Amino acid sequence: MLANFHVPLVGWSSHRDHANVAQISSLIAIEDPVLRAVTANDLLWNGAPGPKDLGTVRDLRTARGQAIIEAIGAGRGREEIADRLHVRPSDLAWMTSDREPTYPTR
């Protein structure tokens, strides 16, 4: 289980299935947008061992980005949000981008 995990999402698996849909719904139901962003970020980086389904990653990135936008809109400071996510305030720009991530070709 996650050491710094704040909201219990039961049964997280690395495979996208109906259980993951319920867990994403539980994540989205977290009222505090900063906590929602932190929880989504924790699941992205520390959730389940092994590779994650691209759809699950996309859902978590979207939930995190929307939560950051909501927090900023509610007057929460960029520094506070970045500190809770353990990133720089300038990182919030790409974290809230709706663009698909790009990866270097090999």
pLDDT digits (tens, 9 = 90+) for 24-49: 788 889 999 999 999 999 988 887 55
Note the pLDDT of residue 65.
95
Q: Is the pLDDT higher at 66 or at 4?
A: 66
Note the pLDDT of residue 36.
96
Q: How far is CA 28 from the centre of its chain?
A: 10
Whether residue 13 is predicted with pLDDT greater than 50 in this model: the reply is: no
Note the pLDDT of residue 53.
74
- In contact, 15 and 51? CB cutoff 8 Å: no
* Burial grade of 49 (CB within 10 A; 0-12, 13-18, 19 or more): exposed
Q: Which helix (H) or strand (E) holds 20?
A: helix 18-28
The model's pTM is 0.72
The total of other beta-carbon atoms located within 10 Å of residue 5's CB is: 15
